[in-house]
Every structure is written in structure tokens, then in C-alpha cells.
Amino acid sequence: MIGIMKSMDRKEELLEQVVEHVLEHGLIGLTLRPLAAAIGTSDRMLIYHFGGRDELVAAVVARANDHSVAAVKSMEPAEDVRTGVEALWHAYREEPMHSCLQIYLQAAATGLIGMEPYRSVVRAANELWYAALRDYITACGAPPERAGRIATLVDSSLIGFHLDLATDRPDELATGVADLAVAAGAIAAA
Amino acid sequence: MIGIMKSMDRKEELLEQVVEHVLEHGLIGLTLRPLAAAIGTSDRMLIYHFGGRDELVAAVVARANDHSVAAVKSMEPAEDVRTGVEALWHAYREEPMHSCLQIYLQAAATGLIGMEPYRSVVRAANELWYAALRDYITACGAPPERAGRIATLVDSSLIGFHLDLATDRPDELATGVADLAVAAGAIAAA
DNA sequence: CCGAAAATGTAGCAGTCGCTACATGATCGG
DNA sequence: CCGATCATGTAGCGACTGCTACATTTTCGG
């Protein structure tokens, strides 16, 4: 029993290191041996603790999402919904959310074609994420009966903006986000 | 010279088959031998005609994007911007755009972490795509001086919605798209 | 019909993949 | 201090990767 506790600690320790590595080097194309070497262990041990590559990937995606969710939950509510959406976009582009969202995007794009475990873990992650977003929007003063609707719009749209961050010019995207924020505010005030 | 023309035809023929295969089986994890076997050739010939895996992938992403762009350009303009956005969303979920956008999403997510040739080819694809979107929105009656701004909002947001299509319930997303369409219409009419 | 060039087949190389069998070291309850 | 369980190192398996050298067939201008 105590041995199990010990192993859990070690697994947790490894997971944190793996997440850190994936945040920097990406999820797509992740393989065990280079990963293990980078964090000072062996593929043998990663499989021993996690059971296999798939389980490790699932744990990484879930953990990265936890970090994102925690970051949103730690945000101070803005004074209104429009300002809140702008604040969200600002948070999206800063660490730790920026890298965590990139992991999410990579996992979501992979899960898009039905590949497991990406599909399942992304589903679960998205639910937690959506709930956190809705709570924040509610805290910004949105009517509770419309917060979910606003969260749906903001969630999908901001993810899209974040994806385009790599190809578009940031200042152009900023006008798009501003328009989105106004729209969200209008729904809240309707 | 005529020989070169012939080889170009063969390359074109192969590319079309490769795109068709990728549309069904995804871009992430694509490898030459299973791909070649599926379309009745050999990895040897794919490399011979395209030069290497990277060039083949770049050609596939560009071609899939061409199909998406052509689909948008073939759309009848809607009577106003709001209706146009709804029509775009409808087109997003039907073939050929649905599968082509999934390829784009997979390439974009891969290019997000700087991987070539994904990064470059996605950049180029996005420019063509954005231009087609802006033209369509203009054709729907948006003031030319604001069409670009609307296209920025709609482009990023709809891509986000499409990504969430795999995890969220479609009817919930539909309300989000409806809200987006109203917002786009409001900007056009402002 | 011939010779060059293009196209394709055959076979394989060096490297990586996830994973596992086996043995050893570490830890700890009894 | 002993035996059991956990943790880790070593070595390697079979499969797959992109790619290439070499030989062959096919095509087509002259």
C-alpha cells in the first residue's frame, strides 16, 4: 500500500516532467525514447508507470487541460462580458495557457479523425474547459441563462483565433477578437 | 519535353489519388508504404514523382485547400451577410469542404509547433482561403471596406466551430454559429 | 528500328518505433 | 535479517520508417 503511494508519487513526478517537455516540443510526433532521454529516464520506465504510450498521451492532454482550466479559474472576473472576452484572449496568448492550448489543438486535430486515445480525452477535456469558461463569463455578469450560449460562441471562436495565431498577423486577429467580444457583450445585454 | 508533360500528368494523377486517400484516412500519421499500397503504387514511385515525403504532404495540403477555395468560389452569394455566414457553416459540414477542412486543421495544428513543411504550406493556404472568404462576404453585400474585418472574424471563428464539431453537440454549436452570423451581419450594417 | 530518357520493379539499408523478457537493485513490512 | 514487492537497468524483438542503389521495362523522338 505504501509502495503504491510511492509509485504514485513517482508517476506524478514523471508526468509533470513529460508535460513540461511536451509543452515545449509539441504533442504530434512525440515518441518515448527521445522524451525519456530528455527528462532523464527511459522508455522502459514510462511504459512501466503509465502502461503504454497511449495512456501517457492521454494523461498529458488531461493534465495540460487541467492547467488551462486552473488558469481560467484563477482569473479575476472582468467588469462586463465584453471586457471578459478581451481578458480571455489576453490570457490565451500568455503562459501557461498558450502552450496548453497548443497541446489541446494538436490533440483535437488528431482526434478529429477518430484516433484514440485523442478523441476520448479531448472530449473530456473540452467539457471541463467549457464549464470553466461558462463560469467565468457568468462571473463577468452574463445572465446565467445565457452564459452557456455565450460560452459556446466564445469557446469555439477563441480556439479558432488561437489556431490562426500561427499564420495571421496578430493585430488583424485582435480586431476580430474585439468584434467577437462586442458580440458576446451584446448577447449578454440583450 | 513531351516526356516531362507525360510525367506531370502521372504526378497529377497520383496526387489526386493521394488526396482522396488522405481525405478519408487523415494527414497525421500518414506514411508512404500503406498510402502507396492503397492507391496501387509503391513508395518508390511516390518519392520518384514528388521528391520526398515532405513535398508530397505539402502538395496534398495545398491541393485540399484548393478544393475548399473552389467550393467557396462556387457558392451563390447569399442575400445578406448573416445568411451568408449561415450558408458558409452549412457548406463547412458538407463534402468536399468538410474533409478538406479536416486536412487543413491537421496541418495547421502540426505547423503550430513550427514543423515544416506544414507551417509554410498552411500559411500559403490560409491566405488563399481568407481571400476567397472575403470575396464571398463582399458578394453577400458587406461594405468592401469592412469585408476584410468580417472575414477575419468569420474565418477564425468558423474554423474553431469546425474543430469543436468532433466533441460538442452540433445543435449547440448551431446556436453559436447563429450568434456569430448575427454579429457579422451587424458589423456589415453598422 | 534504335538509342536515350522516363518510369517502374526489386531488394535492401540504417534507423526508429512501442514494447517486453529477464535480471538486478532498492525498499520495507514482518 | 528475510522475503516480497516495487523500481530500474540491459538487451533486444519484430515491425515499420523514409529513402536509395541497381536493374529493368516502357516510351518516344529521330
What's the rounded mean pLDDT across residues B10-32?
A: 96
Q: Confidence band (pLDDT; 50, 70, 90) for B8?
A: confident
Instruction: For residue A54, say whether its CB is under 7 Å from any atom of strand C.
Output: yes
Closest residue by Cα to the C1' atom of nucleotide D27?
Answer: B3
Distance CA A105, CA A36 (A): 23
A169 backbone φψ class: left, alpha, beta (φ>0; ψ -120 to 50): beta
Supply the pLDDT for residue A53.
98
Q: What share of chain A is helix, strand, coil (3-state, %, to 5)?
A: 80, 0, 20
What's the rounded mean pLDDT across residues A34-51?
A: 97
Q: What tens digit of pLDDT does each residue of A143-171 get?
A: 999 999 999 999 999 999 999 999 988 99
Supply the pLDDT for residue B1.
38
Answer whether A153's CB lies under 8 Å from B179's CB.
Answer: yes
What's the rounded mean pLDDT across residues A128-142?
A: 97
Record: contact A163-B112, CB cut-off 8 A = yes
Query: Which of these, B24, B29, B15, lies nearest to B109 by C-alpha position?
Result: B29
A3: pLDDT strictly greater than 60: no
Helix (H) or strand (E) holding A65: helix A53-73
Q: What tens digit of pLDDT does each residue of B114-165 get?
A: 999 999 999 999 999 999 999 999 999 999 999 999 999 999 999 999 999 9
Instruction: For residue B25, say whether its CB is under 7 Å from any atom of strand D.
Output: no
Q: What tens digit of pLDDT does each residue of B44-70 get?
A: 999 999 999 999 999 999 999 999 999
Instruction: Give me the B residues in range 5-24 that sit within 7 A (CB) of strand D.
Output: 6
pTM of the model: 0.93
Please, what is the average pLDDT of chain B? Answer: 95
Q: How many CB atoms lie within 10 A of CB B183?
A: 26
Supply the pLDDT for residue B3.
39
Q: How far is CA B138 from the centre of its chain?
A: 20
Per-residue 3-state assignment (H helix, E strand, C coil) for B119-160: HHHHHHHHHHHHHHHHHHHHHCCCCHHHHHHHHHHHHHHHHH
Q: Give the three cell numbers for residue A174.
A: 485582435
Q: Confidence band (pLDDT; 50, 70, 90) for B6?
A: low
